[in-house]
């Protein structure tokens, strides 16, 4: 009996031989579909199928020509989907009645969106942006064929035998129909990147699904979402987690490593009822991925390593990340290192992971409402849930007063979550038990008390490589009494301190081989920069230090941790230069190159001109000194409070736009303007324009007629102002008419 893989290859070879007999051309002609032809361009049904939404893009001409279908701006189409999704979510939250999901198949048939998805995949593949005018006609025809295959259900993920759309980096790749049996078997059994056409389909699905779910996701979830970075999570914790005593930290990363297709599709169907989109994602989840066998790995390990020439990258190939960026990637916190990659889902994997975990977010929001029990005598919360403390200093919690308010808050970053509880520890244990039961029943993830430890704030809680702890402060509180007298009194309270973990920073430096030793950190030379110039090496490390200073921007000990990073990197470079220029010690390097290593090390006195003379003549490169060699040079931490109810900028703009376009809001603004007797800027401009027109029609020879006409015009405008502008606007308009 043949192995399954060999049997599959044999059957595919037989199918290819039969197809080559039936179709001498390597690509058999696709059958003509109903949506490719229009008998009458004026019919609404065919217009909707070909042109997309509202029949845009239809018209006379050959509809098989891709240029006839590129009518609208794809960014405008995507923006309309964002606006409609957020408008539906806003109406659902206000009316408490679920809005039916919007069909996505009309968007799936828009060739403009396919071109935009191709541009994004092209930029990821080559590292450069391709304008729409530079896309060749053959590529547009292939995109049209790919779109038709997706709409007809003929598209399959991972299909390497019949590529519909070629990769821009492999435009001259051989046709699979002309390959030998050995090469064809290697093509089907060797693991490699997914076909380029798969990535285009993934980008298109991301364009369609991201606005739908961004409008429905919980505001307490971060990671894999636009505008919700680790910095936003840290600032949210500083803003909202000040009064909590007990913390539960958990990990749901097993769901991101091995997803259940039934669970993902079930979570997807709740908000997306489009059959074509759901079937595409189901096929991407169920299609198996070619992986390397154990025999091939053992064989590759036994082969001796031969001498290889230095690889020279082609002109169009994207260059690898610079050394400073590769080094900074090593400092990624544990919560940010887990990046979901679900086979053929590609760039859709992070979004689908958030779709699955959104049910956990909703469950936690219900627990927050159930657990909340306010107390009037407590400064943390009242009956209406509005904060009673100092809102300009939200992380300050007064220690006076009874601690009776029971409260829970929650935040999730990727697969890791943090729960803060204000109340007795017994309630925290009950909440943990409910959490274990929910994850077991819904996600089939086995959690226990060891994986969900209950930690007190006084011992410190680490999240995103920042330690959350509490410190006591004695500020001077100033407030205004009833008589208007300002009273100053000393208070006592606690602050939520968010500090960078120096221990974790040392651990990351050891992993990157910048340090050695367990007790005292001893810098090690970074020999990867041995063949680079002193100027290039210093600039690379300066970029790393600037990025580190930005990463620890919201840490209380920002000066200390960034200065420590500068010390480690400066010692590493000093040891590198000592080995490179045959100097004996770091002290010798510092003596020649100064404290920040900005002086050249290869010049010797008496044998070459001074460095500043060569620099003035343009014969040498300027050497930038290392940043942050002293703690006073490090910028201060950023304590800017995050506004209550914070949202990313793009969400605020969308909500403001939806509110301004709402007719009810416009009517309320007009009523308010009329009641208060105000004049809007638009009415003020119209008054000025109308006054200019009246002055322009006056004739000096007929003063009396002009005065009569002015009185008539004034009477007409008076009636208009009484109806639209109010009495005060009427008086100002009469004054303007008298002046004219």
Position 57 scores a pLDDT of 38
- Average pLDDT of the residues in 498-511: 90
DSSP secondary structure of 615-631:
HHHTSS---PPPS-SSG
Sheet strands side by side (includes 493-500): 396-398, 493-500, 466-473, 461-463
504 against 173, higher pLDDT: 504
Position 601 scores a pLDDT of 83
Residue-wise pLDDT tens digits, 111-142? 999 999 999 999 988 888 899 889 999 899 99
- Average pLDDT of the residues in 39-53: 34
**Which among 237, 188, 185, 213 is positioned nearest to 499, based on CA atoms?**
237
pLDDT band at 48 (very low <50, low <70, confident <90, very high): very low
Strands, DSSP E only, in 18-87? Answer: none
H-helix or E-strand spanning residue 478 = strand 476-480
How many residues appear in the chain? Answer: 740
- Average pLDDT of the residues in 238-260: 89
pLDDT band at 549 (very low <50, low <70, confident <90, very high): very high
72 against 607, higher pLDDT: 72
Using a 10 angstrom Cβ sphere, with 0-12 exposed, 13-18 middle and 19 or more buried, the burial of residue 509 is: buried
Lowest mean pLDDT among 78-82, 350-354, 676-680: 676-680
Q: Are β-strands 476-480 and 466-473 bridged in parallel, bridged antiparallel, or unpaired?
A: unpaired
The yes-or-no verdict on residue 518 having pLDDT over 60 is: yes
337 against 292, higher pLDDT: 337
- Average pLDDT of the residues in 723-740: 45
- Residue 286 CB-half CA count within 13 A: 10
pLDDT band at 193 (very low <50, low <70, confident <90, very high): confident
Residue-wise pLDDT tens digits, 365-415? 999 999 988 877 666 654 444 444 454 566 677 665 556 788 899 999 999
Q: How much of the chain exceeds pLDDT 70, in percent?
A: 73
DSSP secondary structure of 366-417:
HHHHHH-B--TT-SS--TT----S-TTSTTEEES-S----BEEEEEEETTEE
The yes-or-no verdict on residue 627 having pLDDT over 50 is: yes
Position 32 scores a pLDDT of 36
Q: How much of the chain exceeds pLDDT 90, in percent?
A: 34
Cα separation, 542 vs 536, in Å, equals 10
Position 374 scores a pLDDT of 82
Residue-wise pLDDT tens digits, 402-448? 567 888 999 999 999 999 998 889 999 999 999 999 999 999 899 88
Rounded to the nearest integer, the mean pLDDT of the chain is 77
Lowest mean pLDDT among 13-27, 59-73, 232-246, 523-537: 13-27
Cα separation, 396 vs 390, in Å, equals 7
Domain ranges of the chain: 5-19+66-211, 219-288+320-378+393-500, 504-633
Position 668 scores a pLDDT of 83
Lowest mean pLDDT among 296-300, 356-360, 398-402: 296-300
Angle at alpha carbon of residue 335, lines to 330 and 338, rounded to 5°: 75
Position 59 scores a pLDDT of 39
- Average pLDDT of the residues in 529-534: 86
Residue-wise pLDDT tens digits, 692-705? 777 765 444 444 44
Max Cα distance, the chain (Å):
112
The yes-or-no verdict on residue 630 having pLDDT over 80 is: yes
Q: Output the six-digit token pair for 25.
A: 């051309």
Lowest mean pLDDT among 159-173, 215-229, 455-469, 607-621: 607-621
The yes-or-no verdict on residue 58 having pLDDT over 70 is: no
Q: Are β-strands 416-422 and 246-251 bridged in parallel, bridged antiparallel, or unpaired?
A: antiparallel
Given the structure tokens 């693991």, which residue do they identify?
191
pLDDT band at 80 (very low <50, low <70, confident <90, very high): very high
Position 733 scores a pLDDT of 41
pLDDT band at 293 (very low <50, low <70, confident <90, very high): low
Position 317 scores a pLDDT of 64
- Average pLDDT of the residues in 82-89: 91
Cα separation, 267 vs 359, in Å, equals 8
Position 474 scores a pLDDT of 82
Residue 56 near residue 72, CB atoms below 8 Å: yes
pLDDT band at 12 (very low <50, low <70, confident <90, very high): very low
pLDDT band at 632 (very low <50, low <70, confident <90, very high): very high
Position 607 scores a pLDDT of 46
Position 554 scores a pLDDT of 94
SS (H, E, C) 693-712: HHHHHCCCCCHHHHHHHHHH
Given the structure tokens 């990025």, which residue do they identify?
547
Lowest mean pLDDT among 19-28, 632-641, 653-662: 19-28
The yes-or-no verdict on residue 18 having pLDDT over 70 is: no
Residue-wise pLDDT tens digits, 562-577? 999 999 999 999 999 9
């Amino acid at each position: 009996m043949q192995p399954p893989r060999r049997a599959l290859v044999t059957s595919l070879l037989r199918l290819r031989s039969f197809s080559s007999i039936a179709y001498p051309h390597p690509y058999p002609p696709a059958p003509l579909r109903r949506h490719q032809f229009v008998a009458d361009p004026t019919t609404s049904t065919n217009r909707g199928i070909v042109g997309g939404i509202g029949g845009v893009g239809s018209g006379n001409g050959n509809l098989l020509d891709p240029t006839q279908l590129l009518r609208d701006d794809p960014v405008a189409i995507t923006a309309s989907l964002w606006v409609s999704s957020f408008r539906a979510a806003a109406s659902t939250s206000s009316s408490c009645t679920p809005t039916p999901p919007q069909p996505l198949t009309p968007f799936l048939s828009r060739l403009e969106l396919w071109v935009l998805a191709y541009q994004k995949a092209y930029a990821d593949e080559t590292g450069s942006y391709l304008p729409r005018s530079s896309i060749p006609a053959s590529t547009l025809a292939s995109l049209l064929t790919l779109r038709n295959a997706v709409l007809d259900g003929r598209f399959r993920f991972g299909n390497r035998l019949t590529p519909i759309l070629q990769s821009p980096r492999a435009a001259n790749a051989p046709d699979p129909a002309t390959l030998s049996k050995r090469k064809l078997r290697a093509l089907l059994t060797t693991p490699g990147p997914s076909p380029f056409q798969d990535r285009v389909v993934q980008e298109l699905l991301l364009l369609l699904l991201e606005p739908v779910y961004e409008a429905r996701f919980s505001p307490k979830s971060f990671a894999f979402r636009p505008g919700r970075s680790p910095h936003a999570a840290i600032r949210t914790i500083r803003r909202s987690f000040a009064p909590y005593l007990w913390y539960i930290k958990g990990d749901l990363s097993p769901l991101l490593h091995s997803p259940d297709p039934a669970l993902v599709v079930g979570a997807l169907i709740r908000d997306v009822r489009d059959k074509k989109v759901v079937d595409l994602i189901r096929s991407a989840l169920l299609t198996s991925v070619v992986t390397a066998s154990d025999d091939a790995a053992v064989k590759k390990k036994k082969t001796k390593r031969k001498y290889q020439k230095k690889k020279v990258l082609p002109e169009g190939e994207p260059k690898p990340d610079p050394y400073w960026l590769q080094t900074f990637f090593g400092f990624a916190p544990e919560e940010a290192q887990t990046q979901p990659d679900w086979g053929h889902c590609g760039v859709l994997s992070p979004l689908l992971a958030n779709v699955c975990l959104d049910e956990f977010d909703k469950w936690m929001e219900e627990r927050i409402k159930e657990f909340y029990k306010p107390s009037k005598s407590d400064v943390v919360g009242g009956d209406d849930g509005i904060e009673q403390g100092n809102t300009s200093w939200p992380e300050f919690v007064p220690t006076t007063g009874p601690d009776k308010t029971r409260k829970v808050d929650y935040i999730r970053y990727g697969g890791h979550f943090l729960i803060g509880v204000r109340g007795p520890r017994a309630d925290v244990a009950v909440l943990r038990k409910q959490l274990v039961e929910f994850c077991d029943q819904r996600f089939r993830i086995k959690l226990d008390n060891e994986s969900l430890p209950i930690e007190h704030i006084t011992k410190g809680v680490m999240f995103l490589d920042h330690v959350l702890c509490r410190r006591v402060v004695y500020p001077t509180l100033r407030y205004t009494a009833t008589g208007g007298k300002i009273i100053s009194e000393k208070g006592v309270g606690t602050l939520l301190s968010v500090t960078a973990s120096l221990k974790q920073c040392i651990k990351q430096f050891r992993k990157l081989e910048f340090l050695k030793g367990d007790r005292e950190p001893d810098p090690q030379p970074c020999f990867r920069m041995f063949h680079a110039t002193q100027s290039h090496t210093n600039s690379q490390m300066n970029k790393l230090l600037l990025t580190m200073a930005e990463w620890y921007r919201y840490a209380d000990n920002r000066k200390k941790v960034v200065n420590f990073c500068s010390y480690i990197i400066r010692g590493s470079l000093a040891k590198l230069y000592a080995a490179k220029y045959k100097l004996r010690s770091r002290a010798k390097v510092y003596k020649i190159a100064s404290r920040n290593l900005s002086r050249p090390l290869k010049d010797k006195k008496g044998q070459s001109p001074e460095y500043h003379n060569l620099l003035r003549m343009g014969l040498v490169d300027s050497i930038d000194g290392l940043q942050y060699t002293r703690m006073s040079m490090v910028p201060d931490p950023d304590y800017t409070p995050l506004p209550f109810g914070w949202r990313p900028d793009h969400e605020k703009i969308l909500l403001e736009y939806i509110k301004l376009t709402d007719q009810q809001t416009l009517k309320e603004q007009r009523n308010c303007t009329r009641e208060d007797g105000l004049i809007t800027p638009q009415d003020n401009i119209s008054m000025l324009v109308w006054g200019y027109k009246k002055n322009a029609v006056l004739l000096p020879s007929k003063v009396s007629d002009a005065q009569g006409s002015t009185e008539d015009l004034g009477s007409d405008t008076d009636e208009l102002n009484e109806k639209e502008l109010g009495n005060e606007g009427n008086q100002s308009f009469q004054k303007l008419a008298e002046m004219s």
